[in-house]
Amino acid sequence: MKINYSLITRRTFLNTLFGGWVFAMLSGSIYALLKFAFPTLGKEPDFVVLNANDFLNIPPNSVKPFAWGGKLGFFFKKEDGVITALKGVCTHMECNVTYKPEQKKFYCACHKGWFDEDGKNIEGPPPKPLEFFDIKVEKEKLVVARKGFTFELPKA
């Protein structure tokens, strides 16, 4: 059925077409720009590979820091020699924590929060325990991975 009048005016049609096209091009370009300007917002790695020799020989009841993406990670050897790794970031407001070997606790100076050596939040504002990682030692390499991350490196 053909109607003998137009549902929209020529002006509206052209303006909408123009505006829509400009909007599409602009948003595409701005998206590309923003992706460049804000590359990996908040993304953390799934795993990091470290040199085993640098870490395994630290004295018991001490930590050695490593880079977990842009954040602080701790390689932790407990008093009894058990090795583990955790994210050294306070669960309250993301300040870096420090290890106090005399008390065997992790301390966050920002709001005086305390965690025990298993990361459980025992005092102060932190609402959750510290995040621990899985570690695996393969020959010369120490692989620190997110808990539950199963895919491992092929032989490099």
Residue 132 C-alpha from the chain's centroid? 13
Contact indicator for 97, 103 with CB cutoff of 8 Å: no
Nearer to other proteins, 30 or 109 (CB): 30
Nearest one of 127, 59, 96 to 87, comparing CA atoms = 96
Residue 9 C-alpha from the chain's centroid? 53
Strand, coil or helix: 108: strand
Residue ranges in 31-50 that form contacts with other proteins under rule CB under 8 A? 32-33, 35-37, 39
Nearer to other proteins, 40 or 53 (CB): 40
- By the rule CB under 8 A, 137 interacts with other proteins: no
Contact residue for other proteins among 3, 4, 6, 10 (CB under 8 A)? 10
Site string for other proteins, 48-87 (x = CB under 8 A): ----------------------------------------
Across the beta sheet with 113-116, what order do the strands follow? Answer: 98-100, 105-108, 113-116, 121-123
Q: Minimum distance from CB of 106 to other proteins (Å)? A: 33
Nearest one of 76, 85, 17, 81 to 49, comparing CA atoms = 85
Nearer to other proteins, 39 or 81 (CB): 39
Quick one: tokens of 51?
């040199």
What does the binding site for other proteins look like in residue numbers (CB under 8 A)? 9-12, 14-15, 17-19, 21-22, 24-25, 28, 32-33, 35-37, 39
